[in-house]
Amino acid sequence: MAPVRTLVGLVEEKILESSFIRDEDERPKVAYNDFSNEIPIISLAGIDDVDGRRPEICKKIVDAFENWGIFQVVDHGVDIKLISEMTRLAKEFFALSSEEKLRFDMSGGKKGGFIVSSHLQGEAVRNWREIMTYFSYPIKQRDYSRWPNKPIGWRNVTEQYSEELMSLSCKLLQVLSEAMGLDKEAVTKACIEMDQKVVVNYYPKCPQPDLTLGLKRHTDPGTITLLLQDNVGGLQATRDNGNTWITVQPLEGAFVVNLGDHGHYLSNGRFKNADHQAVVNSNSSRLSIATFQNPAPEATVYPLKVREGEKPVLDEPMTFAEMYRKKMNRDLEMGMMKKLAKEIQFQELKKNAKVEAKRLDQILA
């Protein structure tokens, strides 16, 4: 069966289409609205005042990255009107007809646009989401032909949004640099020139949410991610390798800040790369906007500082492009191995059933 190109028709079905059904061990363990307040909420109010709250705020951020790799940031300075415009327009986009959305179809390797599940080819199971991806930085590489011109005004709002999030991210990365005892700009310099990718996630209502995920478990590959989510809930985090999960309490106007693999390696593993996933539900659709701050593809991935008595977490330096490629290949291989293992198991069962049937035949003959 040809893969569906939007989720529009599937939302109304009673039964979930099979390509979205996950193995039992990957399915949600905790409800989308069973909220936890374990993830710290940190206010940035006063971070730039001389002799102000800076040291106290930095300490909270560092603690959060050491414990969880996640926190929620408030009083971050991003215009609240801009945030609500961005959300409103994004919702309007996903409400457009399939035909309109597919004008920006990114399947076949196009850089930026619309797709179901993810741009990765060869996924074993699909995610219950539609996405719209913008490659927003470096500015000179922007391809506006991949930025939707509907709803009117979204393009312009996305430009402003990506600029404000770039500057908030750089502020947070300064804190990380300082925490490692380095120059304020050490992390951004290690990125050479910061890339930014904005991914708008739309998770429609799902007929059988317990069998699937909106976005399977992962760590973000880049330096840092800023996630804006609506009040529905669905983002979940684990810090014991998937044994227990918590659902992050949605907080209006806040960004969830995640550390990615690059940030984790730069800190020589001191700061955690957040292990997370998104679950869906059958009551309401959900929108989230993830802004990924990544290093340039040619940037070197290697600890900026190895503390006394520690060993480097990486054997040798590699470029971010290599790191990314390895990660994606590993993910795809894991998926394929699982699929293959299931197929072999099925063949074995079939073989055993045949032997059994033959034996029965003989007994009954």
Rg (CA), the chain: 22
Helix or strand or coil: residue 315? Answer: coil
Shortest CB 199 distance to ligand OGA, Å: 5
Pick one of Ni ion, ligand OGA, none as the site partner of residue 199 (Cβ within 5 to 8 A by kind): ligand OGA
* Closest to ligand OGA by CB, 177 or 258: 258
Shortest CB 199 distance to Ni ion, Å: 9
The three-state DSSP-derived secondary structure of 270-300 is CCCCCEEEECCCCCCCEEEEEEEEECCCCCE
Shortest CB 31 distance to ligand OGA, Å: 15
Closest CA to 287 of 206, 247, 230, 236: 230
Site track for Ni ion across 181-220, x = CB under 5 A: ---------------------------------------x
Q: How far apart are CA 69 and CA 63, in angstroms?
A: 9
* Closest to Ni ion by CB, 57 or 132: 132
* Closest to Ni ion by CB, 100 or 123: 123
Shortest CB 286 distance to ligand OGA, Å: 8
* Closest to ligand OGA by CB, 164 or 220: 220
- Which DSSP letter does residue 18 get? G
Residue 110 in tokens: 């196009």
Residues forming beta bridges with residue 218, ordered by sequence position: 276
Residue 159 in tokens: 């430009």
Q: How far apart are CA 106 and CA 108, in angstroms?
A: 6
Residue 199 amino acid letter: V
Residue 326 amino acid letter: K
Is there a contact between 239 and 314 (Cβ–Cβ < 8 Å)?
A: no
Pick one of Ni ion, ligand OGA, none as the site partner of residue 125 (Cβ within 5 to 8 A by kind): none
Pick one of Ni ion, ligand OGA, none as the site partner of residue 86 (Cβ within 5 to 8 A by kind): none
Q: Which residue is nearest to Ni ion (CB)?
A: 220
Shortest CB 276 distance to Ni ion, Å: 6
Residue 38 in tokens: 């374990």
Shortest CB 308 distance to ligand OGA, Å: 34
Is there a contact between 115 and 103 (Cβ–Cβ < 8 Å)?
A: no
Pick one of Ni ion, ligand OGA, none as the site partner of residue 275 (Cβ within 5 to 8 A by kind): none
Residues contributing to the site for ligand OGA (CB under 6 A): 199, 201, 215, 220, 227, 229, 234-235, 276, 278, 288, 290
Decide: is 178 part of the binding site for Ni ion (CB under 5 A).
no
